[in-house]
Amino acid sequence: MPLQICILETDIIRPELVDQYDSYGRMFQQLFAQQPIAAEFKVYNVVDGHYPPDSEQYDAYLVTGSKADSFGPDTWIQTLKTFLLERYSRGDKLLGVCFGHQLLALLLGGKAERAEQGWGVGIHQYRMAHKAEWMSPDLEELTLLISHQDQVTQLPENATLLASSDFCPIASYCIGDQVLCFQGHPEFVHSYSRALLDLRQQHIGEPVYTQGISSLDRDHQGHTVAEWMMRFVAHGRAGLAH
């Protein structure tokens, strides 16, 4: 039976990019369709107040990226935090990307804030700090597309650091077999990152923009992260973990 994944969409793609890229939920669905573990997805946009009914059962809940701050006061963010804390307390598996990575760290006892390092954009490389059995294929270093000005600055007490760099010391972490998060965007493709950089050029400044654009001639390993995520969710289910 395919894994059942609920995608909690925490943003709406900029109007200029909707025709080509549709939504973050759709980008994740396209990404996960290319990894080997069978999975089915349902998307709910929580900014608009949409959540799955209690009658629906999922193997994991994935929190997407967002232009919002994870530590912001927005009502929809507070509602999402309550929803996620309830899911965590009942033992559900939670996945987080960028905003989701930061929000789950904050929610579970860590810290997330505006990073003194400034904007991170383009392709970024991380050192792997820990290897788990669901991390297949195995990597010594990880490259991902990124777009963020906030970072996790303190892990929850019971979290394990998975990936790190000088620019982003807490780039990925897990909490037991229940929570798995990444600062980078496995769902991004090069063309989307380029379009986003072009739209934000004045906001992020010319030096950051130029560095980000020049980094896009490299590959990234979003497909590997997608496989890790599904192996993490499947871990412990007979016939699906390997």
- CATH code matching the domain that covers 3-234, chosen among 3.40.50.880, 3.40.50.1100, 1.10.10.10, 3.30.420.10: 3.40.50.880
pLDDT digit string, tens, across residues 152-177: 999 999 999 999 999 999 999 999 99
The mean of the pLDDT values for the chain is 95
How far apart, in whole angstroms, are the C-alpha atoms of residue 94 and residue 6? 10
pLDDT for res 157: 94
The answer to whether 70 and 112 have CB atoms below 8 angstroms apart is: yes
| Beta bridge mates, 162 | none
Q: What is the mean pLDDT of residues 28-57?
A: 96
Local structure of residue 150 (DSSP, 8 states): E
pTM higher than 0.85: yes
| Catalytic residue check, 168 | no
| Options 6, 101, 148, 187, the catalytic residue | 187
| Catalytic residue check, 98 | yes
Residue 239 has pLDDT above 50, yes or no: no
| Options 98, 168, 174, 181, the catalytic residue | 98
| Catalytic residue check, 187 | yes
pLDDT digit string, tens, across residues 44-103: 999 999 999 999 999 999 999 999 999 999 999 999 999 999 999 999 999 999 999 999
Would you kindly state where each structural domain of the chain is located, as residue ranges? 3-234
Amino acid found at 231: R
| Options 181, 185, 220, 227, the catalytic residue | 185
pLDDT for res 237: 64
Burial of 98 (0-12, 13-18, 19+ CB in 10 A): buried
